[in-house]
Structure 1
Amino acid sequence: MKIRNSLMSLVIALSFGLTAAVAQEGQMQQPPADIDVSDQQLEQFAEAQTSIIEIQQDFSERLQGVEDPERAQELQVQANEEMTSAVDAAGLDVESFNAIAMAIQNDPELQQRLTEMLQNTQ
């Protein structure tokens, strides 16, 4: 149970990290302060987030030991492209994903819904 709680915390923390990573693509706009997130959207967000975590782990490993700054930049761009594709594959666009991430960050009830959803899928 302790591992599962740690994993949930990691997933939520990483979801906020993606917001910054995708913002580098220049697509970040200020989301509405208060949005309604349906269960379907939250499921899509969770699916995208799971893929994003895997991508981040993969590229983190690949970046270790890379000494050439240009190669490191190429890997970071590739990681951002793959994360964007993961969001698209889950049925969301980057703007919606970011808006949901911001809503989760600002709404404890929504955080709880996401946590419960992720726990039920394990």
Structure 2
Amino acid sequence: MKKLLASASLSLALLAAGPVIAQENSQGYNDPAAGAQQASYNDAELKQFIEAQKDINGIRDEYMTKIENVDSQEKAQELQIEANGEMAEAIDEAGLDIPTYNAIATAYNSNPQVRDRVDSMM
């Protein structure tokens, strides 16, 4: 559970820092925290979240190693953007949009009911 919590937080940080969110903002994106209070995600959405999170964990691990081994801030930013793109693709392939993924991740971190439901599905 702690790994998922940390991973979801890091994934949110990576996604929030990248162009994916900026792109969504230009298309009427709402703050994911606004949906964080929703505890009524259906099982299908939570399963999609878990699927996306598994993929994101792998992407995060791969890119964190790459970022730690670069010698310039510019290269690190390029890798972060690349990782954001792959994470966004993983979310999309799992059947979620980024705002929904971010809202579930935020709810997982702040709402024990959502956390318990997700943990019981893993």
Q: Deviation of residue 17 (structure 1)?
A: 2.3
Q: Is structure 2 residue 22 aligned with structure 1 residue 19? A: no
The aligned counterpart of 1:37 is: 41
C-alpha contact 1:45 1:100 (8 A) present in aligned 2 = yes
State the distance in 2 between where 1:88 and 1:33 align: 19
Give structure 1 regions of 4+ aligned residues with deviation exceeding 2 angstroms. Answer: 24-28, 30-34
Percent of residue pairs identical: 35
1:88 aligns with 2:103: no
Residues of 1 paired with 2:62 and 2:36: CA distance? 33
Q: 1:36-55, aligned counterparts within 5 Å?
A: 36-55=40-59
Which deviates the most, 65-74 or 77-86?
A: 65-74
Q: Distance in 2 between matches of 1:114 and 1:72?
A: 32
Question: Are the structure 2 counterparts of residues 33 and 63 from structure 1 closer, same or farther at C-alpha, using a change threshold of 3 Å?
Answer: closer
Q: How many corresponding residue pairs?
A: 111
2-structure distance, mates of 1:19, 1:69? 20
Amino acid in the other structure paired with 1:32: G
Unaligned 5+ residue runs, structure 2?
A: 25-29
SS at match of 1:31: helix
TM-score, structure 2 normalization: 0.82
CA-based RMSD of the aligned residues comes to: 1.6
- Aligned residue identity for 1:87: I
Whether the 8 Å CA contact 2:59–2:87 is kept in 1: the answer is yes
Matches within 5 A, 1:1-122: 8-24=1-17, 25-26=21-22, 27=24, 29=31, 30-35=33-38, 36-118=40-122
